[in-house]
Structure 1
Amino acid sequence: MGVDAFIVHMSATIQRLMQAGASSDRALLVLGEYYANICLRDATRPAQFLKQMAGAPPVGFGIEGFRTDLVDDQNPARHYIAFVFVGYWLPALFAVAVLWMWEMAGFVRYRGHWSQNDIRSGYVGIRHGRLLRK
């Protein structure tokens, strides 16, 4: 498992979506759901939506091969893809605000645990999401 499996799985997923004629927007929605548990259809139920995003997604890969300065739990792909998603859909300033608000909420939720690694991973994801937008 690890980063190599994540890259292979994500590449195959994107290839399958593109062959089926999916737009980039549709592909990002699928990636967000598979790898980060972002189910926009549940956004009308905010408590459920936020609970899902904090939970484990349907697909996980572990930490092997991921840069250690970007890892703070057993599924760094989840956090990375969440912020690729945010960076793709939101202007950069808003995406960064979401990153910091999400981490502050985690600080409260996890009783004072701050994760600079999540912030770093979020910035990488936002940058990659913005690049996909171009």
Structure 2
Amino acid sequence: MPSKDPESVIDKEIRKISARNDELIKQDGTLKREYTTLLRKVSSVITVLNSIDDADTGSAETELPRLISQATVEKVPELKWYNDQISLITEKLEDDEDIEVPEELMDAYTLYKETPLLYNDTHTP
């Protein structure tokens, strides 16, 4: 039975792991670019919708979250969880309690806020 050199086996494993690491780094970069592009598009859509809404209502005040209607919840029972979450947040806002936001969500929000709009949407009439 041929014996394998332990160092060559280790070197082979290290090369495989290193190649996999390089591949994951490339994928991470690609996903970040795609995520940023998606954020730009979403930001642009939100900006356009807000400008339309502002033109219709004449103000840009943020409303408290509204509950999903009972008729809708009856049709889609899975939405009850969202109503519960909206109720919790509304109660905390009314009681002036702090809402703990996970760091990952804050990072995503920061990225969202710092992402520039698409060129065409910054120059709409």
Taking structure 2 as the reference length, the TM-score comes to 0.32
The structure with higher relative contact order (CA 8 Å, sep 6+) is: 2
Structure of higher CA gyration radius: 2
